[in-house]
Amino acid sequence: MFEWDKKQAVNLLEKYKKFWGPSENAKYGITGKPDAHTGKTNAKSVYLTVKNHGKTTLGRGVRAFLGAGSVLDTLEEIIAQKEFLETDLEDIEDSLERLKTIESSKRQNPANINFRTIISFKAPKGEEEEPFIERGVVLGHFLTPAYWEFRRWSAQQSGGSFPSAKPDPSWTARPEKAGGSGSAFTARPPLWQAIFGSENSLRKLTMDIMALMQGQTPVGTIPIEINANLGPKTATNLSTIAGLNKAVKEVMADGSIYGKNTKVAIKSRINTALSNKVFSVSASDMRILVENCTIRIDGERVELDEVLNYDKITSVSIKFPSSNKTLNSLVRAVMGEEMQTYDLSNLTGWQGSAGITLKQVEAIKAVSDLIKVLK
């Protein structure tokens, strides 16, 4: 668990909300009025449109999907927390990958939403004339400059006004098949800007929140050594702890634990590398540790459940005795079939058969020393 500058995170979110909130609607073609043709309620703000992105059927052949709204929900949930877990940081990283997927998707990217709207308009010169109106398909946004001219003219005929700033032509692209020269992914409507823009976007907000989270100091971590007790089920039970499982996989992907140009993972190096890992634990994880482990505090061996407020421990480090076979068993339980299939060629230079061999360097040395004595 980590402490962080929650106030700054909240400020970043509020700045984003304000930039794309209702007070700025006139800039982005949002009038608050029903659609002139369908009578349906239009968007209430760009921010709320981002929040709903992917959650609702858009009515243009696009079904609900995991969109920008899910990314914003994740951010809001994390920002509401005084402290965060390592898994929250992973969720942020996953959110950035989700945004990449949305941006590259022809179906999900808001730059590619189809609208049939007014693409050319000329007001009549006299009372007897009719306005010239041409409709066509555009991508990105319904409010073309021509449609804006039409809505302003139409409102003036009844003594009213159209409360929207003139749209930027970049909001829309007219595809070639519709008689234009534009293409998919090229329009830059407000919703696209609010999600992917270089500034004041959901992607920028997510990156800024991630920067706040990275490098924070863990809290609730007690500097203890957990000495796994021997037993047939110990390794299997320990392997179910998600944080430890991840730590073992990271260690086994570290080329420094292997002998040079070999497939042999040296146990003492595994133990040292693993002991340098701090991983988060849940209440259920702590129950497993209580059943399978003891700890050392200030050099004294203590049962885990004798530690004051042990159930509030949120992260631990683990170290196995050098003579304990449980470490090898844990590695095998975590790696599973990869023990036979793991490719070490890029880690150690090993060019032989795939797989990992576990070896305890101390035992090899002891046998070697015994042979020397016998000679």
pLDDT of residue 263: 86
Query: What is the average pLDDT across 59-66?
Result: 66
Instruction: Give the mean pLDDT of the chain.
Output: 83
- Sort residue 299 into left (φ over 0), alpha (ψ -120 to 50) or beta: left
Give residue 309's Cα distance to chain centre: 32
pLDDT by residue (tens digit) across 255-278? 888 888 888 888 889 988 988 888
pLDDT at 137 over 80: yes
Residues 6+ apart with CB under 8 A from 80: none
pLDDT by residue (tens digit) across 168-181? 999 999 987 777 77
CA distance 279 to 292: 17
- Of the listed ranges 69-73, 78-82, 161-165, 370-374, the least confidently predicted one is 370-374
pLDDT by residue (tens digit) across 184-243? 999 999 999 999 999 999 999 999 999 998 867 555 555 556 665 556 678 888 899 999
pLDDT of residue 288: 86
- So where are the chain's domains? 2-112+189-213, 114-178, 225-374
Residues 6+ apart with CB under 8 A from 144: 117, 118, 119, 138, 167, 169, 171, 172
